[in-house]
A and B are shown apart, each in its own frame.
Chain A
């Protein structure tokens, strides 16, 4: 099992450009999450998908959109990137039978917006 995979690993964007971060999990988990991690701010939830077909806003959703493509895949889109979106982005997944607390994280995408 690969667990949670994310692409790309690194990305540099210019202000105003758009991009989609991809996430996939092979653990048959129902729930998936997108976080951003900034120095001194910790992990903050951007969006989550409790199950296929549903998405909900987290703590910091502004400037982002998500798509739960199927049970395996959950993508995060930046429509018009801003320097404030420079961060490390983590995708995570969990399964109800193991509890919401046991979230499995991907390796992260390091995004720089200039």
Chain B
């Protein structure tokens, strides 16, 4: 079993909807939590990161970490067709060196 689990989707929503993307993990040592966005045939780009538990907001995006449940979420408000992409969660542990553990990614389609 992988340390990071992510539902691959695909997830299809109408424009303007609130999107919720989620990952679960098993390694309680993870302390850094990231969300990457990957457009088709492009490299991943960092959207947001959080350290430890809590919420972080950046424009239409909110990242949420619940360490007690080993569960992280990314919320997208007022979703746009340009948000259509694959969203990857990634995590690392303090002192783990340089390893990032990625989820498999969730494919999101926002329809006009």
Tell which of A58, A92, A101 touches B34, judged by Cβ atoms closer than 8 Å: A101
Binary interface encoding of chain A residues 30-60 relative to chain B, with 1 for a CB under 8 A from any of its CBs, else 0: 0101000000111111001010000010110
Q: Which residues of B contact A45 (CB under 8 A)?
A: 99-100
CB B51 to nearest CB in A, in angstroms, measures 9
A48/B42 in contact, CB under 8 A: no
Give A103 to B32 CA distance when docked, in angstroms.
Answer: 13
**A42 lies within 8 A of B88 (CB):** yes
Q: B99 to A90, Cβ gap below 8 A?
A: no
Residues of A within 8 A of B100 (CB): 43, 45, 100-101, 103
Contacts of A56 in B (CB 8 A): 97-98
Q: How far is the CB of B46 from chain A (nearest CB, A)?
A: 6
Contact partners of B32 in chain A: CB under 8 A: 99-101
Q: How large is the interface on A (under 10, 10 to 19, 20 to 34, 35 or more residues)?
A: 20 to 34
Chain B interface residue count, CB cutoff 8 Å, equals 23
Main secondary structure of the interface of B (DSSP, over half): loop
Q: How far is the CA of A108 from the CA of B37 in the complex (A)?
A: 15
Min CB–CB distance B91 → chain A (angstroms): 9
Q: Is A26 an interface residue (CB 8 A)?
A: no
Within 8 A of B (CB), among A85-110: 90, 92, 94, 99-108
Chain A residues with CB under 8 A of B45: 104-105
Closest chain A residue to B43 by CB distance?
A: A105
Q: Contacts A105-B43, A105-B45 given; indicate if A100 touches B98 (C-beta within 8 A).
A: yes
Closest Cβ of chain A to B14, distance in Å, is: 27
Residue of B nearest to A50 (CB): B98
- Contact in complex: B44, A50 (CB < 8 Å): no
Cα–Cα distance between A58 and B45 once the two chains are bound (Å): 21
Chain B residues with CB under 8 A of A59:
99
Task: Report if A4 contacts B (CB, 8 A).
Answer: yes
Among B61-69, B72-80, B101-109, the stretch in contact with A: B101-109
Min CB distance A35 to B, Å, is: 8
